Amino acid sequence: MYLNGERLAEALKKAKREKYGLIASNVAHVTIARAVIQAADKVGADKIVQISLGACEHVAGQHAKATEVPKIERLKLGAKVLVNTIKEYADFYKNCGIGIHLDHTPPTDENLQFVDWLIDNKMISSILLDASELPLAENIKATRKVAEKAKANGMILEGEVGRVLGQEEDTISAETVYTKPEEALQFVSGTGVSMFACCVGTNHGVSKGRDQELQLGLIKECDDLLNANGLGHVGMVLHGASGLSTETVQAALATGAFKFNKDTQYQLDWAGVMVDYSLKNYDMIVRPFHTTPEEYMEDKKRFDPRKIDALIEKAIQKQAEFMINEVHAVGKSSVL
């Protein structure tokens, strides 16, 4: 079932109260959207499906880009396609609550125009306005403005202070900037966000925990400080959560993180299935050396893209079920 902003806020409060996590999965493909929603339905969990500026542009297509359709129009086209697809699947399945979230969005004029359009049309449940590149006072000012408008339209906002290492869309951070608890308090009380991205040393992309100096204690410090100041309803978000070990994910959950962002893991699974399938079925489309052109025939039964797509869907659904299990969210959906 699709969760609008108000219902997502309730689902997040329930998760925080009952100490389980919500997996937030980035999607740019129907297959991944379907797989992660099916996983949530199968195990009875709530989940957040995330779109991004890059995903919207990708879905808008290469032709629109080549013919110089303005970026704002391409973003709107991509968002409509993705959001409508996600909502259809979400409403079809009754054992899960599905929120739709716009990931990292820096406050450029064009992006703000897009965000205004999303809010005016009540397209999605929540947005991460990412003004973390700006000095704190400006970050607060930019985030508050969008948070107020979102709230007036029944949507919620995520904000960020600090910086997550690695590349997310066009933003590249060469170093980790850890969130300071006193800045978190200043930011949350000054903006009215419902979700706060705490930078604790994880990174966007493939890491497997290597070369990371995780300071998970910061999540608890931020959470405790917010709780002590009457902001206990605000939840902590962990970015760059792909590739973390089960121990680390559960340690983060125990310190107060409740939204775990996952993107890279699905990309790896997708590529893994493609490579594996291609190696095993090379002769479906390439003539083996020992045969003659007369003997050889491509095999339609094996190169039908639906065949590979179904394997990708299965692998990603399995991965998504594992992630939900890892954050103790099985059977916890707010719609059950």
**Strand, helix or coil for residue 22:** strand
Minimum Å gap between C-beta 164 and Zn ion is 6
User: Which C-beta is closer to Zn ion: that of 101 or that of 151?
Assistant: 101
- Interface with Zn ion in residues 96-155 (CB under 5 A): none
User: Which C-beta is closer to Zn ion: that of 239 or that of 259?
Assistant: 239
Kindly write out the interface string for residues 224-243 of this chain, putting x where it contacts Zn ion by CB under 5 A and - elsewhere.
---------------x----
User: Which C-beta is closer to Zn ion: that of 71 or that of 239?
Assistant: 239
How many residues bind Zn ion, per CB under 5 A? 1
User: Which C-beta is closer to Zn ion: that of 26 or that of 255?
Assistant: 26
Tokens 């995903």 locate to: 55
Kindly write out the interface string for residues 238-277 of this chain, putting x where it contacts Zn ion by CB under 5 A and - elsewhere.
-x--------------------------------------
User: Which C-beta is closer to Zn ion: that of 12 or that of 238?
Assistant: 238
10, exposed or middle or buried, with CB in 10 Å at 0-12, 13-18, 19+?
middle
Tally of helices (H runs) and strands (E runs) in the chain: 13, 11
Of 157, 88, 99, 158, nearest to 333 by C-alpha is: 99
Minimum Å gap between C-beta 60 and Zn ion is 22
Minimum Å gap between C-beta 49 and Zn ion is 15
CA distance linking residue 252 with residue 221, whole number of Å: 12
Minimum Å gap between C-beta 175 and Zn ion is 15
Distances in Å between the alpha carbon of 7 and those of 3, 48, 98, 154, 164? 5, 12, 10, 9, 28
Kindly write out the interface string for residues 184-223 of this chain, putting x where it contacts Zn ion by CB under 5 A and - elsewhere.
----------------------------------------
User: Which C-beta is closer to Zn ion: that of 41 or that of 130?
Assistant: 130
Report strand pairing: 166-168 vs 171-173: antiparallel
Kindly write out the interface string for residues 47-76 of this chain, putting x where it contacts Zn ion by CB under 5 A and - elsewhere.
------------------------------
**Strand, helix or coil for residue 195:** strand
What CA dihedral angle connects 264, 3, 162 and 58, to 10 degrees?
A: 40
Minimum Å gap between C-beta 240 and Zn ion is 6
Minimum Å gap between C-beta 299 and Zn ion is 41
CA distance linking residue 110 with residue 97, whole number of Å: 31
User: In the complex, which residue's CB is closest to Zn ion?
Assistant: 239
User: Which C-beta is closer to Zn ion: that of 75 or that of 241?
Assistant: 241
Minimum Å gap between C-beta 202 and Zn ion is 9
Token reading at 109: 């004029």
* DSSP states along 263-312: -HHHHHHHHHHHHHHHHHTGGGTS--TTS-TTT----HHHH-HHHHHHHH
Distance of CA 203 to the CA centre of its chain: 14
Binding footprint of Zn ion on the chain (CB under 5 A):
239
